[in-house]
Amino acid sequence: MEERKSPPQVACPACGKLVAWVPGNRYRPFCSERCRQMDLGAWAAGEYRVAAVEDTDKLSDQES
């Protein structure tokens, strides 16, 4: 019955702060909307860079 008083906690992927994993926390696993936005932005930037490099490599390979 102790689990009802202490919900599981996860570390925010953006800042490492411990966040209570509860249905009321709409930003989980992040601690706040700011951290969620930061992480999404970093992920999108990384994906874009990888995709661009891969695309350029394929193009040059086909032309030569």
Binding test (CB under 5 A) with Zn ion, winner from 2, 35, 62, 63: 35
Site size toward Zn ion (CB under 5 A) is 6
Q: Is 36 in the site for Zn ion (CB under 5 A)?
A: no
DSSP letters spanning 26-59: TTTTSSSHHHHHHHHHHHHHHHHHHHHHHHHHHH
Instruction: Residue 35: count other Cβ atoms within 10 Å of its Cβ.
Output: 19
H-helix or E-strand containing 11? strand 9-11
Binding test (CB under 5 A) with Zn ion, winner from 10, 15, 28, 38: 15
Q: How far is the CB of 52 from Zn ion (least distance, A)?
A: 29
Which residues contact Zn ion by CB under 5 A? 12, 14-15, 17, 31, 35
